[in-house]
Amino acid sequence: MPGIEIELNPVSFITVGTIGPKGKREFFLQAGDETQIVSLTIEKEHARALGEAIREMLDGLAKRADRPLSRDDEVSRVNMDLREPVVSRFRVAQLGLGYDEDRDMVILVAQELVLASADEEETEEPIEDRLEEAQPGVARFWATRQQMRQLSQHAAQVIKQGRADPASNGRVLYYWT
């Protein structure tokens, strides 16, 4: 069964954001162009790793290219809020980044998390074969380096907006024996 394939080339906006109270936030990667808005469910660690990976990639490109990009691009100049409607197309398993030097564009590729359903678990077919048949969806978002720098900075801000001590995710902090 082929998965959905989405390509926004180029995006008008790209952002990460959350819905819900601290400790129960649901994270989204969202991008859009003039015709559609695409929202994908991500994990908090996806947002953190994506922000760091973008920063490292853009810093590396700036060092080796003759097209420097200022690290001082103000996120506040751009609306980085999630746009309505926030309806997730799929949950992301993994993210990847690439750079097209000729176009000076960054591509963000998101691959869908594919899980075996309860009905499929009862078959004798090996799970590897079943997952091979169930092709994951993929979304490709093409953005400028400036848009990606803003996404990186915004992702860091979104992560910081969580609880003061994220290690307390429902765990007992103090106990006596």
Residue 28 near residue 17 (C-beta atoms within 8 A): yes
Strand partners, 142: 107
What is the rounded distance in angstroms from the CA atom of residue 87 to the CA atom of residue 97?
Answer: 23
Helix axes 44-64, 145-160, angle to 10 degrees: 140
What pTM value is reported for the model? 0.79
What local confidence, expressed as pLDDT, does residue 75 receive? 47
Each of the 177 residues of the chain gets a pLDDT tens digit; together they read 578 999 999 999 999 999 999 889 999 999 999 999 999 999 999 999 999 999 999 999 888 866 555 554 444 578 999 999 999 999 999 999 999 999 999 999 999 999 866 555 556 666 566 555 678 999 999 999 999 999 999 999 999 987 655 555 555 444 454
State the number of CA atoms in the 13 A half-sphere of 11 facing the CB: 28
Lookup: tokens for 25 = 């936030």
